[in-house]
Amino acid sequence: MLDAANSARYFWLAKRRRFASEGPTIIQMDKTSKIYVAGHRGMVGSAVVRALRAKGYETIVVRTRGELDLTNQAAVREFYAAEKPDVAIIAAARVGGIHANNTYPAEFMMENLAIAQNTIGGAFEAGVQRLLFLGSTCIYPKFAEQPIKEESLLTGPLEATNEAYAIAKIAGLKMCEFYRRQYGVCYHSAMPTNLYGPGDNYHPQNSHVLPALIRRFHEAKQNNTPEVAIWGTGTPLREFLHADDAAAGILHLLELENPPEWVNLGCGTDISIGDLARLVKDAVGYEGELTFDASKPDGTPRKLTDISKIKATGWAPQIPIEQGVPIAYQSFLDEQAAGTLRE
């Protein structure tokens, strides 16, 4: 026999099955929506909250990790049942650079799978009609044709160093796709490229390339270090998107009536690691020598996303890397002075 809670869920699921064939339920985010942002203290989540408030969205629900453990299924279900948000934005994840991903693959997979399952499945069970899940372009095969199209997903082997994280993000994307197909709810995903900006992680070993360069050049300037050596030849090409641009793209997708199932979220242009290092060097004001250690590996020669799908919906990035790097360095200085630097 069904209890009251399970009975209500059963009839809601039956209704969703009946209307799923008609396409996703059109639930547009508007100023009256109650919006849950998971991961609001991270770089992307905090940018999303800033963007929401700037556009006049006021009913924003957040929880710290101490208040809500997203790997705890029962706690997440209880949260959704109590808050009943209209929209959920899942920007929470366990993240890190190559060293962290390669050293702790079991933890990266288990935690990120649990977060995806609990936040997406829990939202569906609570009747949340609109959800956007944030993944990463690391979901694509290591040797995907450049620039990388969404259709490249699952067409080849992943990059081994972040395979665990990528698999968890693919699972989250597919959960959204399957809930949308089976039940007609408007669950969709965005796959951001390399992000940077306020709230980035500047850990000496576990950070990504751009914040790592900012920290290295800053400390070299402070210590009057005569030379900063960069691993490899400096020729690999990478794409970088400012977190505020990412947040604008996320809000744009949520305001669409019928968004694509998933899209790449990038800037559509790339820069060599050498030129990026020179940009950081200039922004920091480091006057020493920049060198490249060609005995160290370069990694993948190029990684660039095709953003034609999201651009076709009317969105485009606004912060070029030449403008974004000085802004990012100022954020680093501000956070360091305030004692809020993530490291």
| Complete DSSP assignment for 49-81 | HHHHHHTT---EE---TTT--TT-HHHHHHHHH
Angle at Cα 65 formed by Cα 248 and Cα 28, nearest 5°?
Answer: 35
In the chain, alpha helices (H): 4-20, 43-54, 73-83, 98-103, 105-116, 122-125, 163-183, 209-222, 243-254, 273-284, 308-311, 321-338
Contact yes or no for 33/57 (Cβ under 8 A): yes
Query: For residue 324, what are the contacts with CB-CB under 8 A and spacing of at least 6?
Result: 196, 197, 240, 242
User: Beta strand 227-231 with 271-272: parallel, antiparallel or unpaired?
Assistant: unpaired
Task: Tell me the β-bridge partners of 36.
Answer: 61, 88
Q: Is 165 a residue of the active site?
A: yes
* Catalytic position from the list 80, 165, 187, 202: 165
End-to-end C-alpha distance for the chain, whole angstroms: 52
Residues acting as catalytic residues:
165
